[in-house]
Structure 1
Amino acid sequence: MKVHFICGYYSDLAHTSKKRPEDYWDAYFYVWAVKVGKFRRSFFAHKPSGKIRINRGNFELVRQWFGDFIVHTLKTENETDDVLLIPVPSKDGVVGEKTFRTLEMVREALSKKPLEACIFDGIRWKMKLQAAHEGGGRSRAFWRDQMVVDPAVEGRSVVLIDDVLSTGSTLLAARDALTAAGATVLGAVTCGRTIYDLATKPFGLQEIWVENELSDYSGNRGASQD
């Protein structure tokens, strides 16, 4: 599955071994801002036209620009015809809840944009999930077993949307669940990709093929590469 992203999200664990350069700090705060949707501090967003300082007064731009990236990606991939954009549910995306964080993220990002009507709340968690330290697994199989898919996806083409690609386990589990329900998953778009070195650009149109779970952080990789 092809995953498109715009930021190299240099991990906190890697940062303990080799400090983030300033432009990776900007990418870190940009991804965090898209994910959470709350102002934390000022930073620079890097666009082809140059750096733009994000502050409390123009903070709404961060998700708008992520929405622009989603629209641009789908147009470039010719995936704008009759496609469903399905947010990968955040931990609060439990069956029965009115909404959840990543759904609201995508709604705000695509507000008043051509693909706004394509957003579809198609995957939820069966129940509130345990934290890792409480015994909750984190494998692709674990996530897949916890997903409930709306049967309306049958016969539809789907693009998954998420905030960050780390190991890819939830994205792959979502693809597995949707495929089993009769959907065709064309790919995924995320804001960031967790990285452990500086080989990936902090900002820019980037992509990676993910067919198996990616390796998570290990200390001996902290100063040298996701």
Structure 2
Amino acid sequence: MRKITLLSAVMLITACLWSSFTDASRQRRFGYLNTGPPISLGLLYFVPISLAVPSISHMFGRSLSLQELIDEDDEMAEALYWDPAYEVTLRKLSVYFAHLELFSMGCQERLICELAAEPETFSPIPEIFLKELRPLHGPVTRSPDSLMWRYMVAMREGFTAPIEACGRSYPKCPLPAKKILNMPVLKVWQFLASKFNVRLM
């Protein structure tokens, strides 16, 4: 009985080895590839913010200044208090707003509010502006005279209210984000980001 069992085991092992050998030779002969799950390869393209922001500036052109449409009594951002801990952040935001030719406080606040209210609509612009408004460098001076605080309040307003409320909260700015930003160009950026993994840096 033991001899028969041992013989059966040897025959079974021989059959398995022969099957593996013939499968391997068949794969070599016909050029079969790995039958495991497919591997996806992708590339991530980084685009400088300094290129992206000017490209989506408003469509009014140089002949009609955006400032001519804004309430003359509106404050200028430079006149407010800049928290020393957030000076680098505020300088970055100042450059972004300068690219958009947006210098009045009311329009800057309304833009931030609307970007926070509908980030998907204006992507990737909210990622550029709103990431700078995180209080990572300590407490912010809670005052209407503090530029950083005003920006943060505008962002919170957008997070908690519909986009239409931003126009009511900042009535000195007559232009919504869709008029400040060049929406057709923004759609192109969104297409590139979805198809080619384009990211801003």
TM-score, normalised on structure 1? 0.27
Q: Give the strand-richer structure, 1 or 2.
A: 1
Task: Kindly name which structure, 1 or 2, has the bigger radius of gyration based on alpha carbons.
Answer: 2
